[in-house]
Amino acid sequence: MTTGNLKNLKIDTGRSETLVVCFGEMLIDFVPTVGGVSLAEAPAFKKAPGGAPANVAVGVSRLGGSSAFVGKVGDDEFGRMLAEILRLNNVDNSGMRFDHEARTGLAFVTLRGDGEREFLFFRHPSADMRLLESELDKNLIQKAKIFHYGSIGLIEEPCRSTQLAAMKIAKASGSLLSYDPNLRLPLWPSEEAARKEIMSIWNLADVIKISEEEITFLTGGDDPYDDEVVLRKLFHPNLKLLVVSEGPNGCRYYTQGFKGRVGGVKVKAVDTTGAGDAFVSGLLNSLASDLTLLNDEKKLREALLFANACGAITATERGAIPAMPTMDAVQDLLSSSRS
């Protein structure tokens, strides 16, 4: 074997040692050119790449980590644009597939004047829902140190079976399974269907991140701030870490051995789109480098403060992918917030 081949071998091995593979949807978000209006009131829209798993993949890469995206887009201008955006952000897009019949998904998103987000989705069906198990890049998934996914892939077949198969491949390969349900009720046929499907894969995850609203939804209206509710209804025996994101207030964490809270990092928020995904990417990037922090509360708290800072920075700019922070930006914010 030549020295050049040896060099390549080392690079490939290094990638898989910290590789975060994100599975799910990537789509085009259309966001109003002005803030605080309903979709009907918006004078015009600006297109932006979207989809939580893709946002997380870019977030990890932006921090200097190694990431890949697995999913399906349309064989159209938007789909090719999204693949190129991943490539330009140093995300491995070799697991992407292109559908010749269905279009890339579209979502119109706005933050109304009352602070509520409003969504209008065009997926009838969109390409991401049509990913087949036979189209999975099994070798890529097997390399994952962490395999990250949401619940949107569970809404319809064939994507549902494909996601379950991908999770099985990752688990069998020794990957850590990371789950962010990322509840989008307008996409589900009913609240009951959403609750049932989201919980159907709950016990398979090693790490779960949820919001306060998702706790209330999944528990049927219980108090999201009650530790007993979280531990009794949402913590399962195989879970290594459950994180509850609290937006600007930080997050709570629960493990087999300890629980606690890490405060948020104060910034002037402009647009919270993607802040939760940036938080997840910050946490997963730290975990991919050092899984021992799951058993070390001091190191876990540092990782969660870092993740809080990632989310905070993203909220200071418009859009998700353009606002994902670099490692330097996060370190600068943490330094200035300590002084």
Q: Return phi, psi of residue 325, to 5°.
A: -85, 160
The 10s digit of each residue's pLDDT in 112-158 is 877 677 889 999 899 999 999 999 999 999 999 999 999 999 999 99
CA angle, 182 then 127 then 140, to 5°: 75
Q: Report the alpha-carbon distance of residue 132 to residue 155 in Å, rounded.
A: 14
Asked if pLDDT for residue 237 goes beyond 80, the answer is yes
The owner of tokens 């995300």 is 91
Supply 183's token pair: 């509840």
Contact criterion met (CB below 8 Å) for 254 and 230: yes
What is the set of domains in the chain, with CATH numbers? 20-327 (3.40.1190.20)
Q: Report the alpha-carbon distance of residue 70 to residue 299 in Å, rounded.
A: 30
Supply 30's token pair: 């259309």
Please count the other Cβ atoms lying within 10 Å of the Cβ belonging to residue 189.
10
Q: Report the alpha-carbon distance of residue 118 to residue 111 in Å, rounded.
A: 6
CA dihedral 46, 48, 52, 53 (to 10 degrees): 160
Supply 110's token pair: 């706005």
Mean pLDDT value of segment 15-38: 89
Q: Please give the residue that has the higher pLDDT: either 329 or 109.
A: 329
What is the predicted pLDDT for the residue at 6? 32
Confidence of residue 31 (pLDDT cuts 50, 70, 90): confident
